[in-house]
């Protein structure tokens, strides 16, 4: 089920006319995490959230929506977050279209080797789940502010 390019809600206040609202694509297969992230983004009217539940859905959404930031669960049902990042990197057309897009790996696993592998694959950061809302807000500002 492709959820990625359908707006989940309308922001309570329209964005300022001289700046665009950054689009964040959240790639996650766990329904609880999807619902929680949706609720968090309801509190962040300066950001737009789209979702995908599989790596395949994420690839389709990336080509269509061109987000500023991709938050990727490292353990998706059809591929790992590392595989998703590698597929995007291997597609020259997609990579060119998504120039400047930021990537964050999300996982409950924190072994140093996994974090190093994510960074080596091109992820800009690695955040532990469950995501703490103030940490998420600070991370969004750091990456896209």
> For every one of its 145 residues, what pLDDT tens digit does the chain have, with 9 covering 90 and above?
444 454 444 444 333 333 378 999 999 999 999 999 999 999 888 899 999 999 999 999 999 999 999 999 999 999 999 999 999 999 988 888 888 999 999 998 888 899 999 999 999 999 998 888 898 989 998 988 7
Range of the domain at 126: 23-144
The CATH number linked to 60 is 3.40.50.2300
pLDDT value of position 145: 72
3-state secondary structure of 114: helix
pLDDT value of position 85: 97
- Domain count of the fold of the chain: 1
The reply to whether 7 falls in a domain is: no
The reply to whether 4 falls in a domain is: no
pLDDT value of position 97: 84
**Residue 80 contacts residue 74 (beta carbons within 8 Å):** yes
CA-based radius of gyration for the chain = 14
The reply to whether 14 falls in a domain is: no
pLDDT value of position 109: 86
The reply to whether 128 falls in a domain is: yes
**Residue 95 contacts residue 103 (beta carbons within 8 Å):** no
The reply to whether 3 falls in a domain is: no
Among 86, 78, 81, 56, CA closest to 70: 81
Ordered alpha helix ranges (H), 91-145: 92-97, 112-121, 133-144
Burial 27-43 (b: 16+ CB within 10 A, else e): bbbeeebbebbeebbee
The reply to whether 6 falls in a domain is: no
Residue 16 CA to residue 10 CA, distance in Å, equals: 14
The reply to whether 2 falls in a domain is: no
SS3 labels along 14-34: CCCCCCCCCEEEEECCCHHHH
Residue 37 CA to residue 145 CA, distance in Å, equals: 19
């Amino acid at each position: 089920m492709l959820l990625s390019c359908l707006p989940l809600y309308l922001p309570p206040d329209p964005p300022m006319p001289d700046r665009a609202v950054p689009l964040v694509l959240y790639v996650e297969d766990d329904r609880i995490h999807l619902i929680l992230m949706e609720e968090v983004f309801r509190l962040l009217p300066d950001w737009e959230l789209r979702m995908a539940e599989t790596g395949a859905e994420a690839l389709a959404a990336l080509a269509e929506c061109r987000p500023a930031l991709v938050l990727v669960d490292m353990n998706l049902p059809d591929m790992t977050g590392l595989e998703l990042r590698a597929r995007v990197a291997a597609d020259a057309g997609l990579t060119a279209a998504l120039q400047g897009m930021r990537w964050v790996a999300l996982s409950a696993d924190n072994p140093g080797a996994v974090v190093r592998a994510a960074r080596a694959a091109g992820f800009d950061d690695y955040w532990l789940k469950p995501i703490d809302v103030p940490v998420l807000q600070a991370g969004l500002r750091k990456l896209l502010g």
